[in-house]
Amino acid sequence: MTHDRYPRIRPTSGYADPRIRSTGPGPGAGVETDPERSSMLSGRLALVLSIVVGQLWAITIGLNAWMMGQTRTAWWAAAFSVASFLVALWAWRLGERRDR
């Protein structure tokens, strides 16, 4: 697009020019390099919200079981909840790194 508008500017314009002391953005700068980024963000958000719904269910089951003296079931629900949180954390942090 840049080339159509300014035919004399090439993707390599400025290279090997002695007046240029530091390099600017290289070829491809300003172009969306990851077009799926937005939908991936929506996907991550949907995943984490589903996880939160699952955790709400788990805490209900766990509390009910614990009140009935079934401590083992309560611990299983807690383990499920912690594992779910780790997945949510992964979806957040890993995505955050790719999101830049």
Partner 1 sequence: MSVDEQEVAALRERIAADSLTSRRDYLRLAVTMSGGLALGSAVTAAGIFHRHGDGAAPPKLVTAALAPGESVAFSYPGEEDRAVALRMADGTLVAYSSICTHLACAVLWRADRGERGELYCPCHEGVFDPRTGAVTAGPPPRPLPRVLLEERADGIYAVGTLRSGEEA
Q: Could you list the residues that contact partner 1 (CB under 8 A)?
A: 41-42, 44-45, 48-49, 51-52, 55-56, 58-59, 62-64, 66-69, 71, 74-75, 77-78, 80-82, 84-85, 88-89, 91-92, 95, 99
Distance CA 73, CA 66 (A): 7
Query: In 3D, which of 13, 81, 90 has the Cα closest to residue 53?
Result: 81
For tokens 């600017």, the residue is: 24
- Given the complex with partner 1, which of 22 and 42 has the nearer CB atom? 42
Distance CA 77, CA 83 (A): 10
Nearest distance, CB of residue 59 and partner 1, angstroms: 5
Nearest distance, CB of residue 33 and partner 1, angstroms: 18
